[in-house]
Amino acid sequence: MAHTIAVIAGDGIGTEVMPEGIRALEAAAKRFALDLEFTIFEFGSCDYYLEHGQMMPDDWFEQLKDFDALFYGAVGWPEKVPDHISLWGSLIQFRRRFDQYVNLRPCKLMPGIESPLAGRKPGDIDFYVVRENTEGEYSSIGGKMFEGTEREVVIQETVMSRTGVDRVLKYAFDLAQSRPRQKLTSATKSNGISITMPYWDERVAEMAKAYPDVAVDKFHIDILTANFVLHPDWFDVVVGSNLFGDILSDLGPACTGTIGVAPSANINPEGNFPSLFEPVHGSAPDIAGKGIANPIGQIWSGAMMLEHLGHADAAQAIVDAIEAVLAEGDMKVLTRDVGGQGTTESLGRAIAAKIKS
């Protein structure tokens, strides 16, 4: 049976890396006899907004809800549309309405890529950030008062529900339990954020009781960011609130050499709605249009999508191909962020060719 995949490339380099993501998926589909059916949507981009006055049509939920998965590029072009409008009109709606409450973001130092951290080799950095993805600091509760006056006040509440916290913690603990090191680190800030963060800690401690095999530690987010740089080898599964997870999932990949390789899976584990797969990076207006963006984040996200759809072997073949091409280190093929002179397409084609073989 075909897997139906809705494709939204979005803005900037989203439109450049997406074809390479699809090229890799098609190569894997051919090799493993998978039937992938792609449907391309134009909405969810700033150009769509400029034409229609909104990021998506009113019936976007109906149009997308029955797909098996969403494959997403990147959205945002602040010169055309303010970021909070473009992002809250698209990506954040998907995460919330499709209840994609887990944002799973691997950080792995790959062969052939030099870490900016001195002396770090592949194997030294290999962990997951599990980010809460539907509530926390990204809440729509709040507002502006006394606008335009000296008494102006803006408030945006942090929301943590027991269900919302527990379900992402459960996912993170299950993941930690399934990994050889069986270690979970919680990102907190319960010394300063005195209501929500102590609550987060409390739920972590409660959940830990059900996972006696998992070694649990926690760090306040300030020192945790320092430890990502100083001791990335300490981490196995790192779980954090929406904002903390966002920050850690750019910092982690930066420690692995470039955020251009980092993938993510926005998962609705129950399968009530489609999950969404996208690189961690954004639309990168500074390099858009040059054909030099690294497509690996998009391609690896495609691998995570295949794994989610039940094809672990095909997913592994894509990751193996990425690693093989990076390890070969052909500077004519690799993109600039990893020291090469190649293009988005040269790197994408090299990976697709390896997947086929």
Residues that bind ligand NAD (CB under 6 A): 13, 74-78, 83, 87, 91, 259-260, 278, 281-287, 293-294, 297, 337
For residue 262, count CB atoms less than 10 angstroms from its CB and return exposed for 0-12, middle for 13-18, buried for 19 or more.
buried
Angle between helices 14-31 and 312-328 (to 10 degrees): 120
Nearer to Mn ion, 126 or 246 (CB): 246
Confirm or reject binding of residue 247 to ligand IPM (CB under 6 A): no
Please state, in angstroms and rounded to a whole number, the distance separating the CA atoms of residues 70 and 72. 6
Nearer to ligand IPM, 260 or 282 (CB): 282
Nearer to ligand IPM, 245 or 340 (CB): 245
Nearer to ligand NAD, 296 or 314 (CB): 296
Nearer to ligand IPM, 91 or 110 (CB): 91
4, 47, 78, 87: residue in contact with ligand IPM (rule CB under 6 A): 87
How far apart are CB 282 and Mn ion at their closest, in Å?
7
What secondary structure letter does DSSP report for 159? B
- Contact segment (CB under 5 A) with Mn ion among 111-119, 150-158, 162-170, 244-252 equals 244-252
Confirm or reject binding of residue 251 to ligand IPM (CB under 6 A): no
How far apart are CB 331 and ligand IPM at their closest, in Å?
30
Confirm or reject binding of residue 132 to ligand IPM (CB under 6 A): no
- Within 13 Å, how many C-alpha atoms sit on residue 88's CB side? 7
Confirm or reject binding of residue 137 to Mn ion (CB under 5 A): no
How far apart are CB 242 and ligand IPM at their closest, in Å?
7
Q: How far is CA 116 from CA 212, 237, 279, 326, in A?
A: 36, 21, 21, 16
Please state, in angstroms and rounded to a whole number, the distance separating the CA atoms of residues 124 and 99. 33
Contacts of 37 (CB under 8 A, 6+ apart): 2, 3, 4, 5
For ligand IPM, which residue has the nearest CB?
A: 87
Say what the alpha-carbon torsion angle 241, 245, 246, 252 is, to the nearest 10 degrees: 170
Pinpoint the alpha helices (H) of the chain: 14-31, 46-52, 60-64, 83-88, 91-97, 162-178, 196-208, 221-230, 242-255, 296-308, 312-328, 344-356
How far apart are CB 311 and ligand IPM at their closest, in Å?
24
How far apart are CB 279 and ligand IPM at their closest, in Å?
9
**Residue numbers at the binding site for Mn ion (CB under 5 A):** 246
**Residue numbers at the binding site for ligand IPM (CB under 6 A):** 76, 87, 91, 246, 280, 282
